Structure 1
């Protein structure tokens, strides 16, 4: 089993992976970190756990759209619109969670 270091929200994490998968894991983590940065730029300061949850929901929303054929990832305009919609959904969820 191999191990690599990834960065999320300016913090480093040691993660295990299969031998030879280190670069892929770093690339995936960088993708997730970039999504989190997009959320932070739109929402401002938020806690790490809330940022992680919101990033996961954003990625799940995009994956769902791709699975159902309603999103083509190679279109920047479609991606930006989808991101805006996902952020609105996540903000609504976050407000709901804060009220719990």
Structure 2
């Protein structure tokens, strides 16, 4: 199992990860460290544990917001899917009505053509 060396709040950590996940883990550590550094910049040196907890809570808040947004988008996708189904149903009904009207129009044109042909031939 590969190991990745990461640095969070000036401290180095060696972490194991799955094959191929090394860069992903390093990226996550950099992002988490950015949260720690942001809090350190805002509040100063308030202790490693407190900074880590605050950064962890901030990350969980972002995750909760992302989950909320995903659920909102799922609802919107469901609504669009329902509207799409309704539009498709209406389109099928219109196509069927159009086909019926075209067939009726063709029948009437043929009847007129027969009358014209009979008139022209004197029948």
Q: Report the TM range for the smaller structure's normalisation.
A: 0.5 to 0.7
Detail structure 1 runs of 4+ shifted over 6 Å in the superposition: none
TM-score after normalising by structure 1: 0.66
Q: Does 1:27 align with 2:24?
A: no
- Match in the other structure for 1:3: 3
Where is the strand percentage greater, Structure 1 or Structure 2?
1
TM-score after normalising by structure 2: 0.54
Shift of 1:68: 1.3
SS in 2 for 1:45: coil
Shift of 1:62: 1.4
- Match in the other structure for 2:86: none
- Match in the other structure for 2:41: 41
Please list the CA deviations of residues 56-87 of structure 1 after superposition, one character each: whole Å capped at 9, or x if unmatched.
Answer: 00111111112112xxxxxxxxxxxxxxxxxx
Aligned alpha-carbon RMSD (Å): 1.4
**Gap regions ≥5 residues in structure 1:** 70-100
**Gap regions ≥5 residues in structure 2:** 70-123
Shift of 1:43: 0.6
Shift of 1:12: 0.6
- Match in the other structure for 1:85: none
Higher relative contact order, structure no. (Cα contacts within 8 Å, ≥ 6 residues apart): 1
Q: Take 1:21 and 1:29, find their aligned partners in 2: how far apart are those partners?
A: 12
Which of 1 and 2 has greater Rg?
2
Q: Does 1:60 align with 2:60?
A: yes
